[in-house]
Chains A and B, each alone.
Chain A
């Protein structure tokens, strides 16, 4: 027989045998993957930030497809538009969530919260928090060493050199929660962005008694309870000498901001208040 022919035939036979083996193995060990996972993943932002609570966008997509109940599954980075796209792929109704972002609950700037000692160790908040309570009299406040800014993937946090506090860039913050996890003092909170970005929150975490807190920081919450009393919607609770405003119950009336004796309650993005009209003046106008 012709040698060339023999070579062609034997190789072809070998190829057929191997192809059969491959086919059988592929059928036997086939892993079915829902094609929708790829679709959902493509619709997600792809930041892999972990803000949804999953290891990355793909595992979030897997959860979206496999989970029968979409509740609790929300991509904070993509927001409502992304979740609508995901819902469309899945043929479900989209779950709307109010947009959120991170707020810093400390206003102890260099002027308002004087230093009592100096920290000269490694420049990270984690180590500073472990070594001592911080270099001011308040052991609850911002350490100013920017661990939060370093973990932010979205360039939404920057240290203000004047105040020594990090500033959240509202347009860039995706409320992924990386800063919440990074801050050893637990100063960040993911809160509702609010209508027209208007928010009211207590910018303090100091749980010391009033007098002690006031001594270490001029804008500390002293737990006096004035805001709790003035609030008509039961949105404010006081625990451990510290007020907390429930963002869901708050109707943004701003009464608490006015009564706070230490200006610990912050209002953001509100128009300036009208000058108060006294009863007498009102009468003359009428």
Chain B
């Protein structure tokens, strides 16, 4: 079975909610819509305090090259444009909307009927996706329309749908495939037309056998789409790892996937693209997996963006008493949340509660030079060295050792028998070295 070539780990899968059909969640009483749910520049609000908005109405416009539009996830009145603590633990600008009823924009098709119109031009497809404010829904949140327009001189050959969902616990993408398979295939065909490629791959990790079988039954050879089962290994769904696994090409250090002819899109993004093009529906809701071993009713829920994590948690029976840590996302790459007031964003794929017994970090012991982190690193880096160099502030050496290639997957920290916080130090090193590189580039330009 296909897989990426170096490193990786096998974490307990804990996919507790794989057989739980999605449930449409309750509408929030108030939606807090963060202006920066994507990589790049925050969107600029186009509504004012006191204004009445309809569900799906644009409330903030993309500002700059890499940015995305944001739409009202509920109908109601704009209470204020203020700050709100997001998953990073810091306050970020957001639009507060107090919900009144649920009145949608008239041009949005809200029915469940499957639309297979295919007479769109590539430009129309890209424009509709940009207008719908679609961003990568796997976590990083890169604006999709930017990815679909590769820089001049670069040509994509294959579009890979990332339906790997290698993060333990999460099942949002798995459920989406089982319930919206046809729409995903249609979305992929639209995206392929939008970028101008004839080959599509849907890559699924082999622990979702039902989804693999179902997706295989939906695609045919004349579409140019192929469903590929990948070995169960974390981080199979990392962009560079996935390209390696699916088409056997390695993205060089510092290069983009399109340099090797590949564009990767998350499966939820592909579904959102279908809805944007065929149904005129902007990205205002998504599936979030609410899970944890001690939750009373874990499940997969369709929730509107901007819903507070408290309300999302209530859908799964509320926060259990022995909650030790709440994580936004999966256990490997998710962020610990400082409070449940944090709102949902376009990239919120999961909400995980770890019980008191599992949550605390273990005591940090000395490095025993076992090199398990080196074996585990899927990018072929040396995490133990990065940690020491960061502690000694040797930024130039860190850059030489290619710290910027780190994808922050957490395999090193997971594999360390001395429970050293390798990734934490790596992030500091990356931040510093990244800042130094940016300053240097600016100097060159200026």
- Footprint of B on A, CB under 8 Å? 116-117, 120-122, 126-127, 130-135, 139, 208
**B427 with A130: CB separation less than 8 A:** yes
> A117-B339, A121-B361 in contact; A126/B89 too (CB < 8 A)?
no
**B89 with A134: CB separation less than 8 A:** yes
A133–B336 Cα distance when bound, in Å, is 11
**A127 with B89: CB separation less than 8 A:** no
* B422 to A: closest C-beta gap in Å: 10
Query: Which A residues are in CB contact (< 8 Å) with B339?
Result: 116-117
**B428 with A127: CB separation less than 8 A:** yes
B431 within 8 A of A: yes
Query: Which A residues are in CB contact (< 8 Å) with B359?
Result: 120
How many B residues touch the partner, as a band?
20 to 34
Q: What is the chain B residue whose CB lies nearest that of A184?
A: B428
A130–B430 Cα distance when bound, in Å, is 12
Q: What is the chain B residue whose CB lies nearest that of A130?
A: B427
* Given A116-B339, A133-B85, 9 extra CB contacts under 8 A: A122-B424, A130-B431, A131-B89, A131-B336, A131-B424, A133-B88, A139-B90, A208-B83, A208-B91
**A132 with B88: CB separation less than 8 A:** yes
* B420 to A: closest C-beta gap in Å: 9
Q: Residue-by-residue, is B167-198 near A (CB-CB < 8 Å gives 1, otherwise 0)?
A: 00000000000000000000000000000000
A266–B427 Cα distance when bound, in Å, is 36
A251–B378 Cα distance when bound, in Å, is 61
B221 within 8 A of A: no
**A120 with B89: CB separation less than 8 A:** no
B46 within 8 A of A: no
- In B81-110, the 8 Å CB interface with A consists of 83, 85, 88-91
**B338 with A133: CB separation less than 8 A:** yes
Partner of A132 from the list B89, B364, B427 (CB cut-off 8 Å) is: B89
Query: Which B residues are in CB contact (< 8 Å) with A116?
Result: 338-339
Query: Which B residues are in CB contact (< 8 Å) with A208?
Result: 83, 91
Q: Please indicate which of the listed interface residues A122, A127, A133, A134 has the most CB atoms of chain B within 10 Å of its own CB.
A: A122
A127–B429 Cα distance when bound, in Å, is 10
**B421 with A132: CB separation less than 8 A:** no
Query: Which B residues are in CB contact (< 8 Å) with A131?
Result: 89, 335-336, 424
* A39 to B: closest C-beta gap in Å: 32
Query: Which B residues are in CB contact (< 8 Å) with A130?
Result: 424, 427-428, 431
A133–B86 Cα distance when bound, in Å, is 10
B302 within 8 A of A: no
Query: Which B residues are in CB contact (< 8 Å) with A127?
Result: 421, 424-425, 427-428
Partner of B364 from the list A122, A133, A139 (CB cut-off 8 Å) is: A122
**B360 with A133: CB separation less than 8 A:** no
**A126 with B428: CB separation less than 8 A:** yes
Q: Residue-by-residue, is B59-95 near A (CB-CB < 8 Å gives 1, otherwise 0)?
A: 0000000000000000000000001010011110000
Q: What is the chain B residue whose CB lies nearest that of A127?
A: B424
> A121-B361, A139-B89 in contact; A132/B425 too (CB < 8 A)?
no
A130–B88 Cα distance when bound, in Å, is 8
Q: Residue-by-residue, is B408-441 near A (CB-CB < 8 Å gives 1, otherwise 0)?
A: 0000000000000100110110010000000000
Q: What 10 A-B pairs come out closest when comparing CB atoms?
A: A132-B89, A133-B89, A122-B421, A127-B424, A120-B361, A133-B90, A132-B338, A122-B424, A117-B338, A120-B360
* A147 to B: closest C-beta gap in Å: 11
Q: What is the chain A residue whose CB lies nearest that of B390?
A: A126
A270–B427 Cα distance when bound, in Å, is 44
Query: Which B residues are in CB contact (< 8 Å) with A134?
Result: 89
Query: Which A residues are in CB contact (< 8 Å) with B361?
Result: 120-121
A116–B340 Cα distance when bound, in Å, is 11
- In B351-377, the 8 Å CB interface with A consists of 359-361, 364
**A121 with B424: CB separation less than 8 A:** yes
